[in-house]
Amino acid sequence: MAMTELSASTRAKTATNVGVMVLAALGIFVAINWLGGQPKFRSQYDASSLGSNTLSDKSANLLAGLADRIGKTPAGQPQVIELVSFLSAQSRLEDKAIQMVHQLTEVYQSRSNGAIRFRKMDPDREPRTAIEKAKELKLTTVGYDLVMALGDRVRTMRLDELVRINPGSQGSFMGGRNEPARIEENRIEETITSNLLAILEKDKPKIYVLGGHGEPSIEDTNRLGLSYFADGLRKAGYDVTELNLAEKRAVPADAKVLVWMTPAKKCTPEEMAALKEYASKGGRFLVALDPALEPGTDASVTELLGRFSLKAPEGLVCMPVFDVLTGSVVMGVEECAKVYVKSADLSSTHPVTKSFFEQRLPLVLVGVRPLERALDSDSKALVEDLARSRKDAWIDLPPENLALDEGKEKEQIATVVAAATWSVDTASAPADGKATEGRALVVGSSMTARNVNFDSGKDFFLSCAEWLAGREFAAGIGPKVMRRDSTADLRAIASRSVGTTFFLAALAFAGAGIVVYLRRQSLVGLVMALFIAAFPIVLGIMAFTSI
C-alpha cells in the first residue's frame, strides 16, 4: 500500500514538474512577443543579428535634435513631420517587409521627442480615409508608398526603395536547386534618414553634371546614359542639372557637387581654369574615368586629377575568373575586365565605404582604370584609397587582350577608388564660410553609374554624392543585407520561440516517460509518454519551418 502511495506521489510530482516547465516556456514566449510589440522597447533592445531594428548613431543624433531643426509654425506651435504609410502587401513576403518598415518607423517616432508622428493607413481596406489623407498631404494620387510631409514639402518612398526582395527562382534545366523568395536587403534606415535630411532643406542642393566634351548625358535613357543616376540623385533630394562650361565660363556659385564622367575630348584652357578655380574655393568633385579611346582625349581629366594628388596610368584593371565546371583559372575573356572588390578590400573608416565594409557588400566595377598617387604633384591634397583589387589582378596594357602577358605585365594590387581632401585658403573661401575643405572622389570606371549597370552601383554612387555634399549621415548608413540567419526584430523570432517551446514540452514528456520506465519498469508508460511527446515535436518542426 505504501509503495502504491509513493508511486502515486512520484507520478504527481513528475506531472507537476512537466506542467511547470511547459507553463514557464509559454510564459517566456508570451513575454518575448509582448516586448517585441513595444516600440520603446525595440528602440533600446534589438535581437536581430544585423541590428535591423536599431538606428545608427548618425540617425539617432539627427532625431535627438530634430525638433530644434524643424522649428515652430507661424502661430508658435511646434512643427511635426508626418510619416504616413499607405503600404499594402500583395504577398506574404511583402507583408513581412511592410512590418519591418512599420516597426523601424515606430522607432523613429519614439526617438524623435515628438517631432515625428507616424500613422498607418491601408488603401485597400480604408479607401475613403486614405483618399482624404492623401488630399490633406496634397498628393495627386493615392500610391502604395511611405509618405513624409513637413508643411508643403512632401517626399514619397516606395517599398522596393525601403526593402529589396529577391523573388527567388525555380531551379534550372541544369538541375540547380530552387531558391525561395526572401528579403535580401534592408534599406529602411538609409532611405528614411536620407529623406529626412532632404525634407529639412528648403532649397535643394545643386549637383551639376559636366557636359560638352562627349560625356554621357543625364538626359540619355539608353544603356550608356546617366538618366538613372540623375533620377537617383533627384529622389535623394538634389537638383541635378547639366553644365556646359564653354557657355557658362565658370562653375556656378551654388554648385554643391560637380560630376565629371569620362570626357571624350580635351577642355579649353578657359574651362580648365574654371575647374581649378572651383577647386581652390572648396569645390566638391565626383570624377569617373574610363580607358581613353584615343591617346590624349583624357588629357584634361588627368590634369585635373593632379590637383587631387592623383594620376591614372594607362591600362585596364583585370582579374582572373574561374570556370564553375572545371574550377580552372580563365583569362582572356570579357569577364576579366569586371573587377570584384571584396568588402575586406574596402576602407572600413571612410563614410562612403564604411557601411559596405560592415555589411560585407562587394563593389563591382566594369572597365576599370587604375589610380595612383601623384608623388611629383605640388598639390597638398590628402589621398585615401577606398577600394583596391585583389592581389591576383593585373593592369592590362595596350593593346588589351584581357590576359596576363609575361614580361610585360605583372600581378599587383590596384587602387580603383580614391578620395582626396584639401584645405581651403580663407582668402579664397566663399563668403558664407561653409566650405572648409575641398573634396574629390575618383572612380576608375563610369560604367557602374551608367543605366545598364546602375542597379548594382546605385548605393555606392549615391553614397559618393552624399559624402561630397557634406551629408555624411546618409553616406555612412548604407543597406543592411538580410542573410538567412537574420531576424528583423523581436517579433520575427516568434516562430523560433514557438518551436523551442514545443520542443521543451516534448522533452519534458519524453523525460517523464523514461523516469516512469526506470522506476516502474512500465513499458506502457514509456510508450504513452513518447506518443504524447510526438505531437509537440511535430508542432515544433512546423513552427521552425515557417520561418
* Dihedral Cα 192, 196, 202, 207, nearest 10 deg: -50
Question: 175-187 pLDDT, tens per residue?
Answer: 556 677 788 888 8
- Per-domain residue ranges for the chain? 57-185, 206-470, 490-545
Give the H or E element holding residue 81. Answer: strand 81-85
Q: In the chain, how long is the greatest CA-to-CA distance?
A: 113
Phi, psi of 43, rounded to the nearest 5 degrees: -75, -15
Average pLDDT for the chain: 81
Give the H or E element holding residue 9. Answer: helix 2-36
Q: How confident is the model at residue 34 (pLDDT cuts 50, 70, 90)?
A: low
Q: Which residue has the higher pLDDT, 137 or 325?
A: 137
Mean pLDDT of 393-400: 89
Helix ranges restricted to H, 147-187: 159-162
Residue 103, pLDDT above cutoff 90: no
Question: 241-288 pLDDT, tens per residue?
Answer: 999 998 888 999 999 999 999 888 888 999 999 999 999 999 999 999
**Measuring CA to CA, which residue among 300, 281, 546 is closest to residue 439?**
281
Grid coordinates representing 508 are: 519534458
**Measuring CA to CA, which residue among 61, 57, 27, 33 is closest to residue 47?**
33
Question: 344-361 pLDDT, tens per residue?
Answer: 999 988 988 888 888 788
d(CA 401, CA 392): 17
Domain 206-470 superfamily per CATH? Class I glutamine amidotransferase (GATase) domain (3.40.50.880)
Q: State how far the alpha carbon of 283 is from the alpha carbons of 208, 230, 242, in Å.
A: 12, 20, 17
Grid coordinates representing 260 are: 565629371
Evaluate whether the domain defined by 57-185 bears CATH number 3.40.30.
yes
Q: Are 489 and 36 in contact (CB under 8 A)?
A: yes
Q: Which residue has the cell 508508460?
A: 525
Residue 170, pLDDT above cutoff 70: no
Question: 488-524 pLDDT, tens per residue?
Answer: 444 445 566 667 777 777 777 777 777 777 776 777 7
Q: How confident is the model at residue 383 (pLDDT cuts 50, 70, 90)?
A: very high
